[in-house]
Amino acid sequence: MANYDTVESAREFFYKDKFAVNAGITLDELTEDTAICSLKITDDHKNAYGGVMGGVIFTLADFAFAVLSNQIHQLTVAQQVSINYLSAPKGEKLIAEATCRKSGRTSSIVIVNVSDDIGRDVAQFVGTGFKL
């Protein structure tokens, strides 16, 4: 059962996540079992070599994980997460698609695939959510 009736109500709640909002992350789509978030890449997201910082990619994935986890069960917090960086993004935008792999009584497993707007696989994030 979804906790947010509309994507707008979820946006209103998660607008309080100032770190993600200030980084430029947006919640684009939300269903009962999927959350899609995105980020337009700017110079503020780049490291000294001109690549997108890993922390930016992690933050986007973590935000998508948080949105979907709390759509499944409110209140859920991260218990354990991991990320594998696959390729450097080449596009102008990052997209994170979170899907629920398992929703149990006390925990959930969420997979977040991060790609860029030209279809390049950037990272895969796996999060275990603990349901409070």
Q: What is the pLDDT of residues 35-76, one digit of tens each?
A: 999 999 999 999 999 999 999 999 999 999 999 999 999 999
Domain count, the chain: 1
pTM of the model: 0.96
- 31 lies in some domain: yes
- 1 lies in some domain: no
The CATH number for 72's domain is 3.10.129.10
DSSP letter at 118 equals T
User: Are the CB atoms for 64 and 98 separated by under 8 Å?
Assistant: yes
pLDDT tens track for 4-46: 999 999 999 999 999 999 999 999 999 999 999 999 999 999 9
Q: Which element (helix H / strand E) includes 25? A: strand 25-30
CA 66 and chain centroid, separation = 7
Find the domain containing 78 and state its range: 7-131
- 28 lies in some domain: yes
- Reading the block at residue 125, the tokens are 């994030």
